[in-house]
Structure formats: structure tokens, C-alpha cells
């Protein structure tokens, strides 16, 4: 993509704030859309409004060349099942449809590792195989996971319907390395069990922000889904030992040395040269 204006939805959120900061570092023109004001707009044009409101989205899209769509209810635990699913799905449909109608040709959207179904399932689920990749069979049992699965389908439809290219990033747990990730790592060192549903993966929020921009600028045309994560887990123990304990019998299809994250990152690498830079190291 050229250096055109980028619309960021959910710009006041955890990832949105990091994306605004990264866009400022790259001297890009920005429009921020959120239902609340972003903390550090840093020269951004700010539109306060709802992402399912066509008029607000149209207003935010003025002069925009690329869209990074992040606005969502980011967990099934934050609202009713109906609200989580309907809100997230309507938001993505509206933003992508209006973007395409306004002539936008590229977008990135926040999908989630949760689309696998593992993190929020009431039962302990196991992945069909590791390292996981974008072809992993999904075992969706909760409204948030379904909303992310539908987001990916919506993006694929928009490619066929309008020629709107997209990358849906399957993001794992996001946090700041020294803060939420360090605390999770501490919890995992005491008891790795609860984070088994997330396969002990994470991504620093600044790496996630870079991934959003790189995917927007570099990915080839088409509708893509790409898993991203730090290349190592935040657990202290070897990944194969953890898998044996918490996902016994899982099919291991490729080597997982040491604390390797059980995810195949080759698609994100091929699409936009994804590489996480902020890596958690266990205290020796
Ligand atoms: N945080 C994580 O660990 C994580 C992991 C995987 C995927 N994701 C996804 O990444 C995206 C960003 O997550 P986050 O952690 O920054 O969430 P967040 O809750 O910090 O930010 C979301 C932002 O979207 C805004 N928003 C929500 N609904 C809106 C609406 N209808 N209209 C306007 N604004 C609205 C909120 O005001 C908020 O500022 C979400 O799509 C989330 O599902 C997050």
C-alpha cells in the first residue's frame, strides 16, 4: 500500500493504542474510530462513534486508503452471548462493507487464536495436531470464537464481493512484555495447567501492532487468515513436556525444540515477513 491514510477502529483499546503509536512512528496519516476517545491521538483525526453505525463509519472513511479493524468485545465473558456474537459480527460486516463501497482496497482485521474454540470452551479441548496452523479444525463452542470465525468468513466474502483484500490475524493473548506477559509467565511457572487452553502462547502488543501495519502494507491481494505469536511460549518448561501433560496424545507433526510455541508461523512470514521482536525470557 502507498502511504495513504489508515482508519483504525477500536483505536482507544489496548491494541488500537499501540497501532496508533506505530502509525505515528511511521509518519502515517490516521483516522481513529472508537466509541470512546483514544488516549493519545497524536495528530490523528478522531471520530467518536459506533462501528455498526453506517453514518459514523462513512464519516470515518473519508480519505482513507487502508483499514485496521480492531473494535470488538474481546471476550465472551464481557457481555451476553447474543451481544458478543451480534455486536462483533455486525461491526466487522459494517466496517468492511462500507470500506469497500468507499473504494478501500486493503484491510487488516483482528481475528483471534480463540477461533480455534479452545480458550473459552467449557470443556477441555485438544487441538487436532501441533504445531497448529490455519488449517486446524475449529471446535467453536462459544459466541466470541464464533464471532471471530464469522469475521474471517466476512472478510473472505468481501474479497469475492468487492475485491477488498484482507489479512485476518489470529492473535494470541496480547500484553506488554514487562507487565501482563511477565505476570502470566509467573502464573504459568506456578501452574501451567490453566494456560494449556492457550498453548502458552502470547504476543507483545507492540509486535502485534507492527504485524497489523506490515500485513496491511505487504500482503498480496486476496483474503488471508494468518496465525501470529511469539516464537516461544511464556511457560518455563519444555513445550513437548507440557503438551504430553495437558494435551496427552496430541499428534506432533513437526519438531518443537525447547520452549518453541506450538504454532506454524510460515504463512505470516510468507505474507508479510512476520517476526516477533519482543520475546519473554524465563528468569534463570
Ligand atoms: N487482547 C487480546 O489478548 C486479544 C487477543 C486476540 C484477539 N484480540 C482482538 O483484538 C482486537 C482488539 O483487542 P483489544 O485487546 O485492544 O480490546 P480492547 O477492549 O482494549 O479495545 C477494543 C476497543 O474497541 C472499542 N469498541 C468496541 N466496540 C465498539 C463499537 N461498537 N464501536 C466503536 N468502538 C468500539 C472499545 O471502546 C475499545 O476501545 C479485538 O478485536 C479483540 O477481539 C485481542
* Average pLDDT for 24-51: 89
Q: How confident is the model at residue 148 (pLDDT cuts 50, 70, 90)?
A: very high
Angle of CA points 211, 214, 216, to nearest 5°? 105
SS3 state at 148: helix
Residues with a CB atom less than 6 Å from ligand 1: 10, 12-16, 34-36, 50-52, 70-72, 74, 91, 110, 112, 171, 173-174
Pairing of strands 30-34, 5-9: parallel
pLDDT score for 175: 97
* Average pLDDT for 198-213: 98
- Does residue 217 lie in a domain region? yes
- Does residue 40 lie in a domain region? yes
Q: What is the pLDDT of residues 100-124, one digit of tens each?
A: 999 999 999 999 999 999 999 989 9
pLDDT score for 39: 73
Burial class (CB in 10 A: 0-12, 13-18, 19+), 44: buried
Q: What is the mean pLDDT of the chain?
A: 96
Given a cut of 90, whether residue 214 has pLDDT beyond it is yes
pLDDT score for 96: 98
* Grid coordinates belonging to 156: 473472505
pLDDT score for 1: 60
Q: What is the pLDDT of residues 62-98, one digit of tens each?
A: 999 999 999 999 999 999 999 999 999 999 999 999 9
- Three-class secondary structure assignment of 28-54: CCEEEEECCCCCCCCCCEEEECCCCCH
CB 211: neighbour CB atoms within 10 A?
24
Structural domain boundaries enclosing 86: 5-118+130-172+204-229+262-272
Q: How confident is the model at residue 44 (pLDDT cuts 50, 70, 90)?
A: confident
- Does residue 249 lie in a domain region? no
Which residue is closest in CA terms to ligand 1's atom 43? 74
Q: Tell me the CA–centroid distance for residue 240 and ligand 1, in Å.
A: 32
- Does residue 186 lie in a domain region? no
- Does residue 148 lie in a domain region? yes
* Grid coordinates belonging to 261: 510455541
Place of cell 464519516: 59
Count of domains forming the chain: 1
Q: Where is pLDDT greater, at 216 or 41?
A: 216
Q: What CATH number did the domain enclosing 211 receive?
A: 3.40.50.720
pLDDT score for 41: 66
Terminal CA-to-CA distance of the chain, rounded, Å? 43
Cα 88 from Cα 143, distance rounded (Å): 10
- Does residue 21 lie in a domain region? yes
- Does residue 178 lie in a domain region? no
- Does residue 91 lie in a domain region? yes
SS3 state at 21: helix
Q: What is the pLDDT of residues 165-187, one digit of tens each?
A: 999 999 999 999 999 999 999 99
Q: What is the pLDDT of residues 186-201, one digit of tens each?
A: 999 999 999 999 999 9
Which percentage of the chain shows pLDDT scores above 90?
94
* Average pLDDT for 145-161: 98
Q: Tell me the CA–centroid distance for residue 21 and ligand 1, in Å.
A: 16
Q: Tell me the CA–centroid distance for residue 34 and ligand 1, in Å.
A: 10
Q: What is the pLDDT of residues 257-283, one digit of tens each?
A: 999 999 999 999 999 999 999 999 887
Q: How confident is the model at residue 2 (pLDDT cuts 50, 70, 90)?
A: low
Amino acid at each position: 500500500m502507498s502511504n495513504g491514510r489508515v482508519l483504525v477502529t477500536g483505536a482507544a483499546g489496548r491494541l488500537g493504542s499501540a497501532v496508533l503509536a506505530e502509525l505515528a512512528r511511521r509518519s502515517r496519516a490516521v483516522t481513529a474510530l472508537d466509541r470512546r476517545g483514544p488516549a493519545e491521538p497524536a495528530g490523528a483525526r478522531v471520530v467518536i462513534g459506533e462501528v455498526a453505525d453506517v453514518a459514523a463509519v462513512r464519516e470515518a472513511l473519508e480519505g482513507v486508503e487502508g483499514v485496521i479493524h480492531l473494535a470488538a468485545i474481546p471476550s465472551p465473558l464481557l457481555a451476553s452471548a447474543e451481544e458478543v456474537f451480534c455486536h462483533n459480527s455486525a461491526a466487522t460486516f459494517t466496517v468492511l462493507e462500507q470500506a469497500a463501497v468507499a473504494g478501500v482496497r486493503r484491510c487488516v482485521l483482528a481475528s483471534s487464536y480463540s477461533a480455534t474454540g479452545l480458550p473459552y470452551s467449557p470443556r477441555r479441548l485438544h487441538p487436532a495436531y501441533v504445531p497448529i496452523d490455519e488449517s486446524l479444525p475449529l471446535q467453536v463452542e462459544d459466541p466470541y470464537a464464533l464471532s471471530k470465525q464469522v469475521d474471517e468468513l466476512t472478510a473472505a466474502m468481501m474479497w469475492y464481493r468487492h475485491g477488498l483484500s484482507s489479512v485476518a490475524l489470529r492473535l494470541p493473548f496480547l500484553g506488554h512484555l514487562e507487565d501482563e506477559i511477565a505476570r502470566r509467565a509467573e502464573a504459568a511457572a506456578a501452574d501451567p495447567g490453566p494456560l494449556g487452553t492457550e498453548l502458552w502462547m502470547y504476543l507483545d502488543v507492540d509486535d502485534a501492532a507492527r504485524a497489523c501495519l506490515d500485513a496491511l502494507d505487504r500482503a498480496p491481494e486476496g483474503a488471508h487468515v494468518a496465525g501470529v505469536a511469539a516464537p516461544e511460549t511464556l511457560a518455563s518448561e519444555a513445550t513437548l513436556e507440557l503438551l504430553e501433560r495437558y494435551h496427552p496424545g496430541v499428534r506432533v507433526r513437526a519438531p518443537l525444540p525447547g520452549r518453541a510455541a506450538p504454532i506454524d508461523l510460515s504463512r505470516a512470514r510468507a505474507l508479510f515477513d512476520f517476526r516477533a521482536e519482543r520475546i519473554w525470557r524465563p528468569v534463570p
